[in-house]
Amino acid sequence: MSELLQFLLSGVTVGAVYALVALGFTIIYNASDVVNFAQGEFVMLGGMITVFAHAAGAPLPLAALAAVVATAGLGVAMNKLAIEPARGAPVVSLVIITIGASIFIRGAAQLVFDKQIHSFPAFSGDDPFRILGATILPQSLWVIGGAVAVFIGLWLFFTRTLLGRAVLATSNNRLAAQLVGINTPFVMTLSFALSAGIGALAGVLVTPITMTSYDVGLALALKGFAAAMLGGMGNPKGALVGGLCLGLLEGLTAGYISSQYKDAAAFIVILAVLFFLPQGLFGRKSTDRV
């Protein structure tokens, strides 16, 4: 019993990270129909910038804030320099652009930082809590709490503020949104900033547990993408549920089946979802007008 609980707890922790990455995918996908494969690099940058700012003497909270802001800025730059100039290009081109951007960011990180594995101290120490025979690190609670806070914050933003509703309107119908006076290029910029910032936050929260290096982004991007697909691409609720399901599944696979194949869970899920449930758990059925 305590064993199962342990697997579930570690699954939820990882799942919270996947959910944040999936949320990043969702925000950009909604605003621009682009599947941003550089999403994982934002997570990597969040961790790496914090590590280096902290090593340079900045207190941890300040270093983390700097990392989130800098990464959000980079997201905006990526939108301006790589995505906006290619507006209207076919999907293949956009996919390649975001993959290219991701390789570029990885290459730059390797030059600016280094190729070592880094970490920084957990926010509230390393003494685990005991729950019914299982243990959980305080940092895991930070990760889960951070994910919950981000989701509540975003939900309020999208439903209670004018700007948030403008973003929703743009994702529903860009042209119509433009016609009622919504500044859609700004919505795009905002979406990239939000998505990059959320990715960086995930990186900051999880680095004390998993550590980080310049090349952790790709795996995270693929998992986050799987989570987004599972939940239904373009649906924030789906991102949350998809991320948690994927994390739990991975935790259970690692515990009961094989830790070597825990990463396979995500991709088997992708294939199963596509075969049996192509819209994802929360996706809408869509029909096209011809």
Partner 1 sequence: MRLTVKSATLLGLVALIALAPLFFPSGFYYRVGALIFVNGLAVTGIVILTGWAGQISLGHAGFAGIGAYACALAPVHWGLHPALAVVLGAGVSAVLAWLVGRPILRLKGYYLAVASLGMGILISMVLNNERALTRGPDGIEVAELGLRAVLKDAGLELSNGQFWYFLCGLVLLAGAWLALNLHDSPTGRALRALHGSEVAARTVGMDVARLKLQAFVISAVYASVSGSLLALQNKFITPDVAGFMHSVEMVTMAVLGGVGSVFGAIFGAAVLTLLPQVLTVFAEYEQLVLGAVMVLVMIFLREGVVPSILRKIRGGGE
Rounded to whole angstroms, how far apart are CA atoms 146 and 48? 18
Which candidate, 27, 26, 21, 23, places its Cα nearest to that of 40?
A: 21
The answer to whether 31 touches 191, Cβ cutoff 8 Å, is yes
Q: Which is nearer to partner 1, 199 or 283 (CB)?
A: 283
What tokens does 205 get? 């929260």
- Shortest separation between residue 95's beta carbon and partner 1, angstroms: 6
Half-sphere exposure of 176 (CA within 13 A, CB side): 8
Instruction: By CB under 8 A, tell whether 264 contacts partner 1.
Output: yes
Residues 106-135 that bind partner 1 (CB under 8 A): 106-108, 110-111
Rounded to whole angstroms, how far apart are CA atoms 175 and 43? 32
Q: Which is nearer to partner 1, 146 or 280 (CB)?
A: 280
Contacting residues for 196 by C-beta, under 8 A, at least 6 apart: 24, 42, 71, 72, 73, 74, 75, 76, 78
Instruction: By CB under 8 A, tell whether 222 contacts partner 1.
Output: yes
Q: What CA–CA distances, in Å, run from 29 to 59, 88, 228?
A: 35, 15, 10
The answer to whether 21 touches 202, Cβ cutoff 8 Å, is yes
- Shortest separation between residue 10's beta carbon and partner 1, angstroms: 20
Binding piece for partner 1, criterion CB under 8 A, among 89-97, 139-147, 177-185, 204-212: 89-97
Task: Build a one-symbol-per-residue string for 30-69: x at contacts with partner 1 by CB under 8 A, - elsewhere.
Answer: -----x----------------------------------
Residues 229-248 that bind partner 1 (CB under 8 A): 229
Rounded to whole angstroms, how far apart are CA atoms 163 and 284? 24
Q: Which is nearer to partner 1, 63 or 220 (CB)?
A: 220
- Shortest separation between residue 124's beta carbon and partner 1, angstroms: 35
Instruction: By CB under 8 A, tell whether 281 contacts partner 1.
Output: no
- Shortest separation between residue 289's beta carbon and partner 1, angstroms: 10
Binding-site size, partner 1 (CB under 8 A): 44
Task: Build a one-symbol-per-residue string for 202-221: x at contacts with partner 1 by CB under 8 A, - elsewhere.
Answer: ----------------x---
- Shortest separation between residue 36's beta carbon and partner 1, angstroms: 13
Using the rule CB under 8 A, which residue among 248, 270, 282, 283 binds partner 1? Answer: 270
Q: H or E segment at 136?
A: strand 134-136
Backbone angles phi, psi at 40, to 5 degrees: -65, -30
Rounded to whole angstroms, how far apart are CA atoms 202 and 97? 23
Q: Which is nearer to partner 1, 49 or 94 (CB)?
A: 94
CB atoms closer than 10 angstroms to residue 130 = 9
- Shortest separation between residue 29's beta carbon and partner 1, angstroms: 11
Q: Which is nearer to partner 1, 66 or 86 (CB)?
A: 86
Rounded to whole angstroms, how far apart are CA atoms 203 and 143? 10
Instruction: By CB under 8 A, tell whether 267 contacts partner 1.
Output: yes
Pairing of strands 134-136, 129-131: antiparallel
Contact residues: partner 1, CB under 8 A: 35, 82, 85-86, 89-97, 99-108, 110-111, 218, 222, 225-226, 229, 260-261, 263-264, 266-268, 270-271, 274-275, 278, 288, 290
